[in-house]
A and B are shown apart, each in its own frame.
Chain A
Amino acid sequence: MPDRFYQGAPAISAQERADRLAFLMLGEDDGAALKELHPLFVERREAFLDAFYGHLTSFPGTRSVLKDRATIERARSGQAMYMERMLLGRFDEDFFNLSIQVGLKHYEIGLEPKWVVAAWGVYLTYWTQVIVEHFHGDVVRAVRGLHAVHKAILLAVQLSVDAYYSKTLERIQAIVASQRAAILELSTPVIEIWQGILVLPLIGTIDSARTRQIMENLLNRVVETQSEIVILDLTGVSVVDTAVANHLMKTVEAAELLGARCILTGISPAIAQTLVHLGVDLGHITTSATLRIGLQQALRSQGVTLGRLEG
């Protein structure tokens, strides 16, 4: 079987395969029992598949996936092949991989695990009837066969649902990662508001990952623009705790090492109270209540005065 089928599927080691089979109590005996049922399946295959797909297409949830005749035919032959493989009673690496592939296929066509599990239930109902009938009241052999079928089906469900979820998880993780990157990018705009003056408006919650990004971004911009003054505006920051204050101090120190001076603006009453209660020492940093005042200070220190035009 080509390797590409297994891309993104969970890798299952020999040890784990053995553990799973042991947990399910699926052993050699079951394999033999299944093998015994193999001719029975081949004999009843068409009748069974007709009934099975008739059932699936009579419910909207599964009908929406089995859109057309071609899809049904493909699913049907895949299903027949898989059942035959299962009834060989060999739960080796090949069977595990095949089962995972089935799960990946379900993911691909959008067949949710709730339908998969229920469909196997339908299968089981059918098998129970067929097996009980076949063994004509030989209870021991019937139970033995039923047990084996049960366990094999549970293994198949387990593996295909595993694969389905690992794919789903992968997709969600990719989405989360891209959104996180987007948020980081959006949240750290460094604005050169005047020659030699940068403004960094901080917005929302600041955590360690973001602070690191903010710091790097800011320092790079300081060097790029050769700015001597950096205004960190906290107007959009709702909560400041010790960690955030610590991060801010580190940013300020690093900027000063480059030769820039920092001004902290937008200190709201709440933030001022928190900082004092936390005992955070902002030391020698210039601070102000509003960005406006901070900007005035920055301009003045750059020797810039602003005034209305005469007339």
Chain B
Amino acid sequence: MPRIPVLKIKDVLIVSLQVEMQDRLALELQDDILSTLSRTGARGLLLDVTSIDVVDSFLGRVIADTASMARLMGAETVLAGLQPAVAITLSELGLKLPQIRTALNLEKGLAMLETGKS
């Protein structure tokens, strides 16, 4: 089973979801992110989902939960590069991502986290 790397640049953790996200993989990733957050004390979490074509309600929930958990640990989450089809599915599922800010691409997401709280 592949593991998704959690990269740290300055104060921000960057996670790029590149493979089809099985439920277990998503939960493992959540663990990895949270433990890295606690180890490094990063202030921001940037989730890049550019290459994700399908988000089901479980993955959506895991992403929302992870953001809420990261917030509790003092990090703000930005979701970058969501595909239109995925956005439609999520809005039709009625899934809300209240703790998450969104960005059109990785660069804009990084800029959002670097300029700090808005």
* A binding-site residues for B, Cβ under 8 Å: 215-216, 219-220, 222-223, 226-228, 250-251, 253-260
Chain B interface size range: 20 to 34
Q: From DSSP, what is the main secondary structure of chain A's interface residues? A: helix
Known: A250-B91, A255-B87, A258-B104. 20 other contacts (CB 8 A): A215-B88, A216-B85, A226-B104, A226-B105, A228-B108, A250-B92, A251-B91, A253-B90, A254-B84, A254-B87, A254-B88, A256-B102, A257-B82, A257-B87, A257-B91, A257-B102, A258-B87, A259-B80, A259-B82, A259-B103
* B binding-site residues for A, Cβ under 8 Å: 79-80, 82-88, 90-92, 97, 101-105, 108-109
Write the chain A residue with the least CB distance to B90.
A257
Q: How far is A22 from B90 in the complex, measured between Cα atoms in Å? A: 55
Contact of B104 among A216, A228, A251, A253 (CB under 8 A): A228
Write the chain A residue with the least CB distance to B102.
A259
Write the chain A residue with the least CB distance to B78.
A259
Contacts of B108 in A (CB 8 A): 226, 228, 259
Q: How far is A175 from B88 in the complex, measured between Cα atoms in Å? A: 30
Contacts of B85 in A (CB 8 A): 216
Contact of A223 among B84, B91, B109 (CB under 8 A): B84
Contacts of A253 in B (CB 8 A): 90-91
Nearest CB in chain A: distance from B12 CB, A: 16
Contacts of B105 in A (CB 8 A): 226, 259
Nearest CB in chain A: distance from B103 CB, A: 4
Q: How far is A260 from B88 in the complex, measured between Cα atoms in Å? A: 14
Given A223-B104, A226-B104: A258 in contact with B82 (beta carbons within 8 A): yes
Given A222-B84, A250-B91: A257 in contact with B79 (beta carbons within 8 A): yes
Q: How far is A285 from B41 in the complex, measured between Cα atoms in Å? A: 34
Given A222-B84, A259-B108: A254 in contact with B102 (beta carbons within 8 A): no
Given A222-B104, A223-B104: A258 in contact with B84 (beta carbons within 8 A): yes
Write the chain B residue with the least CB distance to A252.
B91
Q: How far is A260 from B104 in the complex, measured between Cα atoms in Å? A: 7
Q: Verify A220–B84 contact, CB threshold 8 A.
A: yes
Q: How far is A226 from B105 in the complex, measured between Cα atoms in Å? A: 8
Q: Verify B83–A223 contact, CB threshold 8 A.
A: yes
Contacts of A222 in B (CB 8 A): 84, 104
Contacts of A216 in B (CB 8 A): 84-85, 88
Contacts of B90 in A (CB 8 A): 253-254, 257
Contacts of B80 in A (CB 8 A): 259
Write the chain A residue with the least CB distance to B97.
A257
Q: How far is A255 from B84 in the complex, measured between Cα atoms in Å? A: 8
Nearest CB in chain B: distance from A254 CB, A: 4
Write the chain B residue with the least CB distance to A226.
B104
Q: How far is A6 from B87 in the complex, measured between Cα atoms in Å? A: 46
Contacts of A220 in B (CB 8 A): 84
Provide a sorted-by-A list of 16 A–B residue pairs whose CB atoms are within 8 angstroms.
A220-B84, A223-B84, A226-B108, A250-B91, A253-B90, A254-B88, A257-B79, A257-B91, A257-B97, A258-B87, A258-B104, A259-B79, A259-B102, A259-B104, A259-B108, A260-B104
Nearest CB in chain B: distance from A301 CB, A: 12
Contacts of B109 in A (CB 8 A): 259
Write the chain A residue with the least CB distance to B105.
A226
Write the chain A residue with the least CB distance to B104.
A259
Q: How far is A256 from B84 in the complex, measured between Cα atoms in Å? A: 11
Contacts of A259 in B (CB 8 A): 79-80, 82, 101-105, 108-109
Write the chain B residue with the least CB distance to A212.
B88
Nearest CB in chain A: distance from B46 CB, A: 12
Nearest CB in chain A: distance from B99 CB, A: 13
Q: How far is A250 from B91 in the complex, measured between Cα atoms in Å? A: 6
Contacts of A251 in B (CB 8 A): 91
Nearest CB in chain B: distance from A179 CB, A: 25
Contacts of A223 in B (CB 8 A): 83-84, 104
